[in-house]
Structure 1
Amino acid sequence: MTNTSRTTTGSTTNGASTGGGSPYASRPFRPGRIAVLAAATVAALFVSALPASAAPAPTGDGSPSAATEAARQRLVAAEPRPGARSVGLSPAQRAKSLRTAAGTGPATARALGLGDQEKLLPKDVVKDADGTVHTRYERTYAGLPVLGGDLVVPARPGDRTPTVSRTTDASVAVPTTTATVPAAAARKTALATAKADGTTETAADGAPRRVVWAEDGAATLAWESVVNGVREDGTPSELHVVTDARSGKKLAEFDRVHTGVGHGQFNGKVQVGSVRNGDVFELTDPQGGNHSTYDLDNTNSSGSGALVTDADDVWGDGTVADRQTAAVDAAYGARKTYDFYHDRFGRDGIAGDGIGAYSRVHYGTQYVNAFWSDACFCMTYGDGAGDANPLTELDVAAHEMSHGVTSVTADLIYSGESGGLNEGTSDIMAAAVEFFADNPSDVPDYTVGELIDINGDGTPLRYMDQPSKDGVSQDYWTPGTASLDPHYSSGVANHFFYLLAEGSGTKSVEGVAYDSPTYDDLPVPGIGLHNAINVWYRALTLYMTSGTDYADARTATLQAAADLFGRSSEVYETVGDTWAAVNVGERFVDHIAFATPAAQEAAVGQPASFRVTATTSRASGLTYEATDLPAGLTLDAATGLITGIPEEAGAHTPTITARTADSSLSRTFSWTVIPSGGDFFVNPGNVPIPDADPAGAESPLIVTGRDGNAPSDLQVTVDIVHTWRGDLAIDLVGPDGTVVRRLKAPDSSSADDVHETYTVDASALPADGTWKLRVTDVYARDTGYIDSWKLTF
């Protein structure tokens, strides 16, 4: 399922259990009370965690061990800090806060060190009970929208150095705002892209607009084109295509209409909101932000359709023969989703503006899908196969409308890993709404599509406890996750959330059986659905931005857990351990998460640099120690940065120890030092090449012991790993800083990598000194690094 948006709280109750009973029903919701009746007192925070090295193994039948279950019960019982819950803002208060943020935007931009041509435009504001105000900004550069320039700035009382969440830390600046590629060429590329994707009836929505594209880190002047059309299954498409305004190269594409397959058709006998207008009742819910439901009469209209009305305020009969039945389910789903966000988080409507998104039923003919569109800020449902199975079940509504919440908060770009997080967020929120509603006609569960036989074999469309059971989704993160369709890369998020809520192993929740594995075969206990959804929502709305990937999501959820439960809490470490269970980051062992460093290679006489990184839940922070480093290298105890010049060749196995005030964790890795000198000098150290950055990357090579000048046939061997070699300019820079020769100019080659030996006349320069290989990536999107280079005399 998907959304139509474009591109960085709540207290809880307890009760998610492995037995019967809805975790939301255990303490009833009362409209108007924010964040589900925050407790007057907070349970003691746990400060000890279950070290991974001592984690109890599951029992032989796959069920959690007694120790894991005991840990789960402690975690489920944990209460968030009252000060971290959201304070509900009325539409008027929210508007006033946004006006205030707009007035202070220039001062905030200066405080963040933004350039003179950069401006901040407030998009959203969230206030915590302790007085912290989180303001989400979009950014412009020289008046142009910056896609990927979004950031969230928290203003905590007494905090002079707030932690800012942003998509890119790179400078947002371009050499010129004048495009060399005409808008017409960008439009042509966009239309061709849409057609290649299988979109028909395509038409460009106005002229392309100039933007600064910064989603990939470096800023690039670009054109953003919008193409409207219809996909092969009849779903509307609003495809955004971003092209480099200097080269014409396509940088990105993402669709703003998010579609999906639903779960079923009936919610049983339910209450729906309506109003009387003369002699008829209208399906408009005044308690749900005046949400209205419309009938499209099986057309593909882009309009709202006809408002659903009735003479006696008794709607539908529970069968598809009555067209109102689908409207009832849609209205019910909209109201339950509205109530969930309001009662759990104090959110007044999908956009936080007090207005209920509207719904459209009976879209198209035999349309087996449902979708959310930011353009109309509305939900649309098809009638399914044979027009006899409307896709109006509760979690379809919650899933799709949650795309709307994502669009007005983190605005996760619907491609790459951020796309998977966008799609996964909607599955996560849909599951939470199901448990919140606790409707016996649709038993709450952690599966998608279980009530409609989409696959033809009675199986669900997706499984949160083990996503790979659908045959395509991922259980665990891999380097290939970013290349998958968001519906399948969402498996990592879904699996993480299920494990965080319920824990690993076999169990039954609401009578539904689950069996959830972990990447490292170690158990995780789960913190309960209430606590898990609080962590995810806070991370989404306060710390994720449009370009957040899975590693960033780990950081965001850890920060959310620290806010809610304390950095030294057991919940905090469980969040980190659960990410490790889906192969994102490391588990905490003795309160330290420390990945084994990758094997390193350096050369005698050449500068080397490598930073080891670890994190801790302890307030004391970390210091580092090292043994058996290659001679000539030293470790900075405070930062973990290893620097120096290796003195002799050999194979080494250094051990790095990260320490807190009361614990330590060591990791051993390999570091090979190869000879360098005589007739050839080599630097094998990896150097990242910044994307579309005129400064480029430089790798130094120190030449010593060579008398006289360099030869006229100096051999320069270059090994570069890069996904689009045509982007690269490669220069050999002499010891005096002058460019001896351009070894490679940018070209049209789309091939990967550069592995070449060039012959250079360097006879005008002394051989001894520091030579440099300078590599510049002149276009955005594709990235890489200098793997190794050498000079042969």
Structure 2
Amino acid sequence: MNHSRNRAASPQGARGPRRRLAATVAITAAALAFSALPGSAGAAPLSHAPDGARTTGALPQIKAAPRPGSGTVHLSPGQRRRLLGQAADAAAGTARALRLGPQEKLVPKDVIQDADGTVHTRYERTYSGLPVIGGDLIVHERHGGARTVTYASEKKLTLPTTAAKVPAATAKKAALSKAMAKGTRKAATHTAPRKVVWMLGDQPRLAWETVVTGVQQDGSPSERHVVTDAASEAVLENAEHVESAQGNSLYSGQVTIGSTRQDDGTYALIDPQRGGHRTLDSSVTSNGVLFTNDVDVWGDGTAANPRTAAVDAAYGARTTWDFYLDRFGRNGIADDGRGSTSRVHYEQQPGVPLANANWQDGCFCMSYGDGADGHHPVTSLDIAAHEMTHGVTSSTAALGEYGESPALNEAISDMMAAAVEFYADNPNDVPDYTMAELDDLHGDGKPIRYMDLPSKAGISSVGYAPLDYWTPQAKSDEPHMAAGVGDHFFYLLAEGSGQKTINGVAYDSPTYDGLPVAGIGLTDAADVVYRALTVYMTSTTDYAGARTATLQAAADLYGSGSAAYEAVANAWAAVNVGTGYVHHIAVEPPPTEPVAVGQPVRRQITASSSRPGALSYSAKSLPRGLSIDHATGLITGTPDKAGDYSSAIVITDATGDTRNLSFTWTALESGGHFFVNPTTYVIPRWGTAESPLVVRGKPGSAPSDLKVTVDLDHGFSNAMVIDLIGPDGTVIHVKPWGPWVLTPELHETYTVDASAITTVGTWKLRVTDGTPGFYNLDPGHLQRWSLDFSGTGPAVTTDSPAR
């Protein structure tokens, strides 16, 4: 694990004590009554005591060790600030009492108070304004008693000069070379070398300290502090500040995690390299207690050891942080360098383990349960990455809680969880396109989600099966189930369709349109999704919006004419979202519902190319009376003969590539007593749709029992109000609002008295959406309608309208 030595930075960034024996001295209470000291006088000279501490004059020695039972007490932020402020006010007097030189100053760094009232104040030291490495000290002040001091170095601090002979650039070059020689890969410096005073050798020296970052041989981050003599260029220290020890996880084997050594010598699961991420034990309290240990080795690889789950959670947080930083330059979940918190062994209520895991914005934390049986911590790497990605989404697009946005939110967390697994490439948790395959959330030994074919997971505990392809159900489905649409898209984008074996796992991913999809690789797929999420998605983005966002992201990254751009569109088309490219041409499904003899037709072929230049259109075997505009793809005309036509549309791009669309197009008989308009019209939400119907024949009045047959779909079809408008503008009410029953479709024949209206002319059917405002349903569709002028008697309501 990553372990930060107990080093304290001065205002200039100076580092604290190295591993050297410290000296403890005792001084009188009067000596630290700073306000009573004259400007140039202080306590009696310090001398060595028999036990190695230094004491003043004839005063008895007081050991620095605290009395039994005087453990540290919690200081509120206000109490801590107050004690540090008092120490800062007294710092000059403290320096004089300690007989420091006139160029030396003390800067309070930290303060701790014991239960018996003892206050321990940690100071950093400067010399002529330069940080002093190895010059820190701690003043221990007992309540009502003597004070003692612990020094990092006993040497007297003097320098002949603070002017460096060796230039900073030379020191930097030497530092990079020395760091690489010690095994640091990708060595780099992001800050200039800083001038310091080195007090850890045989004598104080003026030096340069250069921080070299990179990667250690085991993959851990590297932060080497290379100190070179400012007079001779000799290397005084080449120390790795990120040490690696081991954590024994349940799912990922022996791993590296972040920890920090505390003042009492114990270790805590605080990752200093990743924003101070903390791992807490929530089996003690729901808020959690920081995991600590006497040694810097954590867990034993079994669920029985409570620290094992902590290792998995800390490893997941570390790996996910590194993934986002390395791949996207993102500095933590919120991109502000702030670490989150992991809480393991979380319970729904006392004694009832949480069977899942979650992310919470309020606490900026992940909570991991121990599974339904309390023996399977839900802490595998993909779960951790999934939960942390919820935090990333919250900090960026903030996908909302309505419509398809929650499903998209879950899907993006699954996408990035897969990407993190492949980034980690841990042999104990082989990267794959399944979720929670190691956690056994359902107790059946199976993953909870399969990205190549989500429906393989079967019926969930909430009674739904994951969606393989988009349907209108995605808007109202349980988000984890509707996430299958996004999961499937991502797998297809990364790996493509069909049968294949990846890391020993067999996949077989089909497509909605039956067309093959070529993947672009997981790295590029993750790049597209991350850019779309952080740059183009909003709180209301649905799957159609996600398609638009990812296409724009692909255009940004690879160009709108690239294979990657087309692959994004094809992967979405493969899950029934939008259109895909064939021969570089994408086309909306042609409007092939029947036409009717004598009824004007206006149908638009909508297509695009990933290549520059205009498209041209041609057609074969359209219903007689129709033609296509070669420049716009608009089909117009009036069919004059009924029948089934084997039609074809040919679209050609500027380079000569073509795409052919073949389909059967039916022209219905419409005339005599029966007239039909089979063209689909959208019924806008809370709006109105009007469909025309041209009636030809002998002049005269319509019958008193005119039959009006209507076919429409809407989530609340009974809320549709239907009117018939005669050629002269007369309005006849066909269907009122109601009844109050949610029905998805309406197929009815109504009888109205139209005897006052002339038959010949253009009739219109008007459908008004009367859905109450508190319903947020999708637009409906007037699929077709017809008029029967035969006048055969009273209306007969049927489910199958006359054709």
Fold match, TM over 0.5? yes
Matched, 1:290 2:276: yes
> Residue 595 and residue 734 in structure 1: after superposition, are their counterparts in 2 closer, same or farther (change >3 A)?
closer
Structure 2 counterpart of 1:71: none
CA distance in 1, matches of 2:318, 2:424: 10
CA distance in 2, matches of 1:619, 1:756: 49
Offset from partner CA, 1:691-742 (integer Å, 9 cap, x none) = 223xx11111223344244444333222222232232111222334453325
**How far has the Cα of 1:658 moved from its partner?**
1.1
Q: Is the 8 A contact 2:250 2:301 kept in 1?
A: no
Matched, 1:405 2:392: yes
Matched, 1:673 2:663: no
Structure 2 counterpart of 1:208: none
- For 1:437, give the aligned amino acid: A
Q: Is the 8 A contact 1:265 1:391 kept in 2?
A: no
Match of 1:382 among 369, 386, 401: 369
Q: Is the 8 A contact 2:591 2:604 kept in 1?
A: no
Structure 1 counterpart of 2:766: 774
Match of 2:425 among 438, 454, 457: 438
Give the stretch that moved more between structures: 660-669 or 512-521.
Answer: 512-521
Q: Percent identity?
A: 54
Structure 2 counterpart of 1:791: 787
Matched, 1:630 2:623: yes
Q: Is the 8 A contact 1:600 1:670 kept in 2?
A: no
- For 1:562, give the aligned amino acid: A
Q: How many residues align?
A: 532
Structure 2 counterpart of 1:269: 255
Matched, 1:691 2:685: yes
Q: Is the 8 A contact 1:372 1:380 kept in 2?
A: yes
Structure 2 counterpart of 1:348: 331
Match of 2:345 among 342, 362, 373: 362
Matched, 1:751 2:738: no
Structure 2 counterpart of 1:590: 583
Question: Superposition pairs for residues 389-400 of structure 1, below 5 Å?
Answer: 389-400=376-387
Q: Could you say what secondary structure the match of 1:670 adopts?
A: strand
Structure 2 counterpart of 1:660: 653
Match of 2:719 among 721, 727, 734: 727
Q: Is the 8 A contact 2:313 2:342 kept in 1?
A: yes
Question: Superposition pairs for residues 699-710 of structure 1, below 5 Å?
Answer: 699-710=691-702
Offset from partner CA, 1:281-311 (integer Å, 9 cap, x none) = 5533343233333332266x4xx33344455
Q: Could you say what secondary structure the match of 2:447 adopts?
A: coil
CA distance in 1, matches of 2:381, 2:500: 24
CA distance in 2, matches of 1:439, 1:610: 55
Q: Is the 8 A contact 2:356 2:441 kept in 1?
A: no
CA distance in 2, matches of 1:286, 1:564: 33
- For 1:294, give the aligned amino acid: L
Offset from partner CA, 1:37-88 (integer Å, 9 cap, x none) = xxxxxxxxxxxxxxxxxxxxxxxxxxxxxxxxxxxxxxxxxxxxxxxxxxxx
Match of 2:705 among 705, 709, 713: 713
Q: Could you say what secondary structure the match of 2:623 adopts?
A: coil
Offset from partner CA, 1:454-512 (integer Å, 9 cap, x none) = 45554433333444443356584153762654334433433332333234455554x43
- For 1:568, give the aligned amino acid: G
Q: Is the 8 A contact 2:492 2:517 kept in 1?
A: yes
TM-score, structure 1 as length reference: 0.61
Question: Superposition pairs for residues 107-186 of structure 1, below 5 Å?
Answer: none
Could you tell me which runs of 5 or more consecutive residues in structure 2 were left unpaired when the two chains were aligned. Answer: 1-183, 191-248, 460-464, 790-803
Offset from partner CA, 1:724-766 (integer Å, 9 cap, x none) = 2232111222334453325322441223322333333334443
Greater RCO, CA 8 A, separation 6+: 1
Structure 2 counterpart of 1:338: 321
Offset from partner CA, 1:536-558 (integer Å, 9 cap, x none) = 22233334444544454444333
Q: Could you say what secondary structure the match of 2:552 adopts?
A: helix
Q: Is the 8 A contact 2:734 2:752 kept in 1?
A: no
**How far has the Cα of 1:370 moved from its partner?**
0.8
CA distance in 2, matches of 1:542, 1:792: 55
Structure 1 counterpart of 2:49: none
Structure 2 counterpart of 1:601: 594
Q: Could you say what secondary structure the match of 1:781 adopts?
A: coil
Q: Is the 8 A contact 2:250 2:308 kept in 1?
A: no
> Residue 313 and residue 762 in structure 1: after superposition, are their counterparts in 2 closer, same or farther (change >3 A)?
same
Q: Is the 8 A contact 1:468 1:474 kept in 2?
A: yes
- For 2:257, give the aligned amino acid: Q
CA distance in 2, matches of 1:752, 1:370: 37
- For 2:554, give the aligned amino acid: A
CA distance in 2, matches of 1:540, 1:553: 8
> Residue 684 and residue 463 in structure 1: after superposition, are their counterparts in 2 closer, same or farther (change >3 A)?
closer
Question: Superposition pairs for residues 529-568 of structure 1, below 5 Å?
Answer: 529-568=522-561
> Residue 626 and residue 30 in structure 1: after superposition, are their counterparts in 2 closer, same or farther (change >3 A)?
farther
- For 2:710, give the aligned amino acid: V
CA distance in 1, matches of 2:363, 2:399: 19
CA distance in 2, matches of 1:658, 1:270: 57
Q: Is the 8 A contact 2:408 2:543 kept in 1?
A: yes
CA distance in 2, matches of 1:313, 1:785: 66
TM-score, structure 2 as length reference: 0.60
> Residue 666 and residue 715 in structure 1: after superposition, are their counterparts in 2 closer, same or farther (change >3 A)?
same
Q: Could you say what secondary structure the match of 1:439 adopts?
A: coil
CA distance in 2, matches of 1:735, 1:352: 64
- For 2:610, give the aligned amino acid: S
Structure whose CA Rg is larger: 2
Matched, 1:501 2:497: no
CA distance in 1, matches of 2:407, 2:330: 24
Question: Superposition pairs for residues 91-102 of structure 1, below 5 Å?
Answer: none
Question: Superposition pairs for residues 411-560 of structure 1, below 5 Å?
Answer: 411-413=398-400, 417-454=404-441, 456=443, 458-472=445-459, 476-477=468-469, 479=471, 482=474, 484-504=477-497, 507-509=500-502, 511-519=503-511, 524-560=517-553
CA distance in 1, matches of 2:291, 2:188: 26
- For 2:569, give the aligned amino acid: G
**How far has the Cα of 1:431 moved from its partner?**
1.4
Offset from partner CA, 1:88-119 (integer Å, 9 cap, x none) = xxxxxxxxxxxxxxxxxxxxxxxxxxxxxxxx
Q: Is the 8 A contact 1:465 1:514 kept in 2?
A: no
Structure 1 counterpart of 2:289: 306
- For 1:788, give the aligned amino acid: R
- For 2:417, give the aligned amino acid: A
Q: Could you say what secondary structure the match of 2:690 adopts?
A: strand
Offset from partner CA, 1:373-411 (integer Å, 9 cap, x none) = 234332101123543332222211101121222234344
CA distance in 1, matches of 2:419, 2:189: 19
- For 1:557, give the aligned amino acid: T
CA distance in 1, matches of 2:250, 2:403: 29
CA distance in 1, matches of 2:562, 2:684: 38
Q: CA RMSD in A?
A: 3.4
Offset from partner CA, 1:122-169 (integer Å, 9 cap, x none) = xxxxxxxxxxxxxxxxxxxxxxxxxxxxxxxxxxxxxxxxxxxxxxxx
